[in-house]
Amino acid sequence: MRYLMRQKMFALADGFTIKDENENDIYRVDGKVFAMGHKLSFNDMAGNELAFISQKLLSWGPTYEIYQGGNLTATVSKHFTFLKSEFTITVPGSDDLEAVGQFNAHAYTFTQAGRTVAEVSKRWFALTDTYGVDIAENEDDLLILAGTVVIDMVCHPDQQQNQL
């Protein structure tokens, strides 16, 4: 499934709109104003919270937790290596996802057990950050989209602050 994830231009906090491949709005991600660390609510268009993203403040390197139905479903962590950075999405009871690529160029892939499960790329002609997110069939779309939101916040923190 292909999604378009567009950063909100004039939001008081971090925010994204996610559209399907026909450009119908299907998800909205809204940041919590005046919160300690990043906190985002991942909602359907009826306003139902599907996931909640929360930054862990006391951790080595940027780390975020993704909750669904009040339960921790994944932890997203940035790892630093000598030549590149990468992200791990730790999913309890399942193979972890890895995100590797050119994060500053907005082009990377998600893999699981050596298999590509999603590709992310930025559309440069948009006024705000707009990503194409291609997710393979039978994958956890919500988890991959939430991971993409986290990676954007970690790799491009100045862009969220410019929205205020």
Tell me the domains of the chain and their CATH numbers.
2-161 (2.40.160.200)
Query: What's the rounded Cα separation, in Å, for the pair 40 and 51?
Result: 9
* CA dist., res. 48 & res. 55, Å (int): 21
158: enclosing H helix or E strand: helix 157-161
113, 95 in Cβ contact below 8 A?
yes
- pLDDT tens across the length of the chain (164 residues): 899 888 754 444 457 889 998 989 999 998 865 556 678 999 999 999 999 999 987 767 789 999 999 999 999 999 876 666 789 999 998 889 999 988 776 789 999 999 999 999 876 545 566 779 999 999 999 999 999 989 888 887 654 443 32
Judge residue 71's burial from the number of C-beta atoms within 10 Å of its C-beta, 0-12 exposed, 13-18 middle, 19 or more buried: exposed
> Bridge-partner residues for 55, per DSSP?
64
Beta-carbon neighbour count of residue 162 at 10 Å?
A: 9
d(CA 119, CA 111): 9
